[in-house]
Structures are given as structure tokens and as C-alpha cells.
Structure 1
Amino acid sequence: MTGTCEGHECRVREAGGRAAGRTAAGYRLCGACHRRLTLGIRQLPDLYRDCEQVLGGASVKGLRERTSGGPLPGAPFNAAAAEARAAIMGVLGAWSGLVAQERRVAPPQRTIGTLSVFLLRHTDWLAGHPAAAEATREVARLVVKARRVAHPEQVRRIALGACVEPGCDGRLFGTVPVGVPGSHPAVRCDADPLHVWAGHQWTQLRRLIGGVSTANTASTASTAGTAKAADAAPAAAADRWLTATDISRLWNTPVGTVYRLASEQRWRRHHRSGRTYYSEADAHECFSRRAERSRQG
């Protein structure tokens, strides 16, 4: 028998008026929340080590020289990083202890890697445990907290909507690196790490997401016997507006080039609060043509 998912993400979805996922027999989590829990546990050791690097006030950008014996005397101490590391160790240790006690297995050594590997072997059991909701909530919040401490303001996250891959009930978000040389924007699914697209495909995905949302709205409206679906298509098809900086990051193009192309090709634009916004559709068409010419040349 299936039931309503108790996972953290599905609780958030319900609070926002969206339906929670359905569970399989014997589980308290839907497939997406189960995968998020697994992915979160897998990410925590790397975040733990990243927080170690910023203990002395440095930033994780691959430019910090490693030293032995901890931070140099007089160096600033990053209390948030220390707190995040302690929280990661505490959370993984507590859930590993619960698994070892209730499953009557030998507890793992208290090292970050061993604890994570141990829990990963028992995520199926956790997904069916009465405390599954608490596990998903603690791990999800810990990943967000540790990432913010270890990588402050390096990545801007933009929520996009439902994943467009068939059968996936994850959510897509765009990641736009800020001030990180050599990095490129991308679109990722929070349920399946294999669902990833290049940043310049963002506008295409937004249209697919809009189409999926419109179809869902139309289906719901038809079932309820209402005429609200008629308003869905215009809303989904409405043009979106981006700043020159947004376009520069999404297509990995200098801002000056964006301004030049917008002027030469007369992209639609409008002004709001002293800023200029350009038509996403015009930018997408322009860069698609440039990419096609590059492939043919």
C-alpha cells in the first residue's frame, strides 16, 4: 500500500499548496525524498572538509595554502565553520547510533567518512523508520547550512520548477557562480544528480517547465469542471526579462558583448527601478544562432 510521503521536501511542497509524493509499500518517503536523503548524506563529508578549510577565515576557492597545526596565530577563527563541522559529526553520529542500536549491528568508528558510508548502507531502512521525516529534515538543513558557510556568496541559486525528465518528481534549480573564475552556470535536479544541463539551456528548460505546469493546470481544471485552464497558457508563454549581467552569466559572455548584441539586434527591453531588462526570448534566439554558426563554421 502506498501513502503520503513524510519527507522534508514534500512537507515544504504541501505547505506551498503542492501535492506530496507517494510512497512505496514499507516506506515513509517517496522516491525523490529517498534520493535526496542519500545524496545529502553523501555530500556531508565533502562539506565537512570544506568547512575545515575555512576555519581560519579563508574561502574555499582552491587558493588557500594548507598548513599543519591549524590556523596561524592571530588568524581570524570562523566560528560558523566550527559549528557546522560539529553539527555534521553530531548528526551523522546520532543517526548511525540509532541504526546500530535498533538493527543490532556494530557501530561504525566515529570518523566522518566511516559514519557517512555506514548510513548510506542503511538509507533504505531509514526511509521506512518512524523518524524518517526528522532524518530528511536534519540532513537537508545541514547541507544548506554547511554549504553557505563553506562557499559564501560563491553560487547564486535560482529555483526554476519541476524536473522535465519523464518520471522524475524532483525540482530544478539554476546555479550561477559569482566571482569564481573558470566556473559556468548550470541547471541541476535536487532529486537526481544525473539530471544536469548547461546554463545556456536554462531558457529552453524554463519553457518546458512552463509547458508541464500548463498541462498540469489544464488537467486539474478539467477534472474540477472549471474554465481556469484557459488562463494558464498565456501565463506560461509570457516573456521573461533578464539583466545584462544575468545574460552574461547564463551564456558565459562578457557583459560588453551582451550590450553590443542587444543594441545591434534591437532586443526588446524595459526599465524598472533604474535598471534595464532584456527579453529572454530575444537573447535566447540570438545566442542560439551564434552557436549554430559556430558549429557550421
Structure 2
Amino acid sequence: MDARDVLRARLLAWSDLVAAEQSCAAPDRSVDAMAAFLHRHAHWLCAHAAAGDIVAEIAETTAKAKRAAYPHRTRKFRVGGCVEPQCDGSLVAVIQPHEQLLPSEVRCDIDPEHSWPAHRWRELDRRVGRQNATGGDRWLTVVEVSKLWGLSTSNVYRLASVNSWRRRANGRRVYYYEADVLQSVG
């Protein structure tokens, strides 16, 4: 309702401006009539000093209406430390809704240059694997934690939940941050 009210108010304001400055009759106050009126006067509006303002307001109003009509939200979650050397940032997965034009990506929360679109996620996974193999942060599977500490897998999941172990997923496989595991059971 808010988006509709904002749309109606903005169409009304711009219609009134056109009617006053063009000395013509204002349109009916329906959204359709005001939109058609503004469309008929689009060339005049484009030459007006406030053309930038109308474009910005209509774009903002359109975005608000789309968010109201299509409430799917972008999902964001932390997936681990940045893999770039000397970067203390965290990698954040940004998963866009299905119908969104922007691509999903994994990006660093500190350096925007550290970014991997979805088509490069395998490359990123290999880098994470190499980093783990060469002494970077180590992540353990549920089975590894279970075997190393003699726990049932259900206890591993319970401990991970109770102790808020950092986790990441690769497909269906879940990994837990070794330092968090060691702090709880080591």
C-alpha cells in the first residue's frame, strides 16, 4: 500500500507541474490517466530543468513497487575467510533471487576486488582447498570430527549447534572450523 501511495503522490505532483507550466487541463486522478498524461508530455518533461529529478523519482518508485510486488530477497551469509593473501576480510555469499538480473557471487567484505561470480565458484573452492592444505584455516567434516574424537555424528551436530561452530557447506557436505571444534572437544 505504501508503494502504491508513493506512486500515486509522485504521479500527481508531476502531472500538476506539467498542467500548470503547460497551461493545460490536469488529468483524472487515476494512476492510469496520470501515467498516460505524463507519457504524452514526456518530450517536454525531458527538456525541463527537473528532468533528472523525475527520472530519479520514477526509478525509485519503480524499484519500491517491484520490491513490494516481488518480495524475494537477496540472501547473504558468511562462508569463511578471504583467500587472497594478506586480506583479513570475510567471504560473503550473495545469492540473488531467481528472477534477479544481478548474478549471485561470493565477495570479500573488505575489498570489492576480491569477488567471484557463480561461474568461478569451482575456482574459489580449489583455492580454499589449497589454502587448507598449505596450513591456512582448516575445516573438518562431520565424519572427521566424529572419528577424531570418538563422537557419534548426532553429537557432532549437537555440539556444533550448542557451541555455534563456524560452518561452511560445499554441496551437501558440511565443514566445521577446526579451531571451534578444538575449543569445544579438544
Smaller-chain TM-score range? Answer: 0.3 to 0.5
TM-score by length of 1: 0.29
Give 1 or 2 for the bigger CA radius of gyration: 2
The answer to which structure, 1 or 2, has the higher relative contact order (CA under 8 A, 6+ apart) is: 1
TM-score by length of 2: 0.45
